[in-house]
Amino acid sequence: MATKVLVVDDSSFFRRRVSEIVNQDDDLEVVGVAVNGQEAIDMAEKLKPQVITMDIEMPVMDGITAVRKIMATNPTPIMMFSSLTHDGAKATLDALDAGALDFLPKRFEDIASKKEEAIKLLQLRVKTLGRRRLYKPLPRTVTARNAADAANPASLRTTLASKPALNNRSQANNSQASSAQNVCSASAIRASGKKYKALLIGTSTGGPVALQKVLTAFPANYPHPILLIQHMPAAFTPAFASRLNSLCQITVKEAQNGDVLQPGCAYLAPGGMQLMVERSGSFGRLKVIAGNAEMNYKPSVDITFASASKVFGGDVLAVVLTGMGADGREGARMLKAAGATIWAQDEASCVVYGMPQAVTVAGLSTHSIAIDSMAESIIKETARG
């Protein structure tokens, strides 16, 4: 059965364009279109779509407000369309905070250089979100510990369920991943006593919210430098780094060429570039380069992980969070060969269980950890300076 999609945009041209692309895929079906946020709320209630594509700036009600209200009443996977500007980046991050799961540039030429590739990627992202189910949490007593989550519709994302696999290959991969997973809570993690020199975190779809959840729990005196590789356009990474820095006790900045790594500082790989590590002093120095134009991902988790393996050897904890595809697997393989520790996010708490599944099925990850337990687990494991 085709995934039901609601298209929301105040531009008749863009509504028609997105609807045509979605309907070209036999596994997708546009069941309705809306011209503003209020219509989106009403149609989400009436049509029960499995995915919503949402514009940000619209009359009557903007997309961010609509996302927040939909997530509170009819939780639905939502993909935002955004302009690649500083203001567009900030608005997109606000939408992800409100509960949206993914985003794409509104100009299709910014999605991929070839029109056919852009169309296929849009269809794939919509189908991927369509395999998720979001549920409103059961009513609960609000305590000091959970008050922030109770007030935040984005917390609805933590209750996820997958549809059955679409084909035999998917079923086989899911079966392998399930058998390979060693799902751990933070209380079950026992610190190995290993001494570390750096923490590396790679992620893609769902990563902005996951990174925020992890990094905001770190103390200001966290003893290691942190490298963050998030698949994100170049226009978005400065705004994302600034947002994280305003929310975290540690320092978060967009990485710059020549940065000397410092403990308690997280360096976000710039969009459209590759982030590498060079030997220099106690912690190393960053090298930011354009890299090979043929690379699928810029920044690439594989490239940063591989670079770190040559500088830090096994003195690394590398964590692969939610994301589509398998970026990070080969870099994790190099880190593992050097003696590094690899962890993955568990399937249940991922927006897309692609990248973590890749390292888990390959036998590279020793633990699969829910995102709510990830920060505590990392702090416990890497506490030794």
Catalytic residues: 204, 231, 327
Task: Decide: residue 90, CB within 10 A, 0-12 exposed, 13-18 middle, 19+ buried.
Answer: middle
Q: Residue 357 in contact with residue 177, Cβ under 8 Å?
A: yes
- From residue 71, give the alpha-carbon distance in Å to each of 41, 97, 156, 272: 10, 11, 7, 31
Q: How far apart are CA 353 and CA 374, in angstroms?
A: 16
User: Regarding beta strands 274-278 and 285-289, do their DSSP bridges make them parallel or antiparallel, or are they unpaired?
Assistant: antiparallel
CA 151 from centroid of its chain's CA atoms: 22
- Using CB atoms within 10 Å of the CB of residue 279, give its burial: 0 to 12 exposed, 13 to 18 middle, 19+ buried: exposed
12-41: b (≥16 Cβ within 10 Å) or e: eebbeebbebbeebeebbbbbbbbbbbbbb
With 0-12 / 13-18 / 19 or more C-beta atoms within 10 angstroms meaning exposed / middle / buried, residue 223 is middle
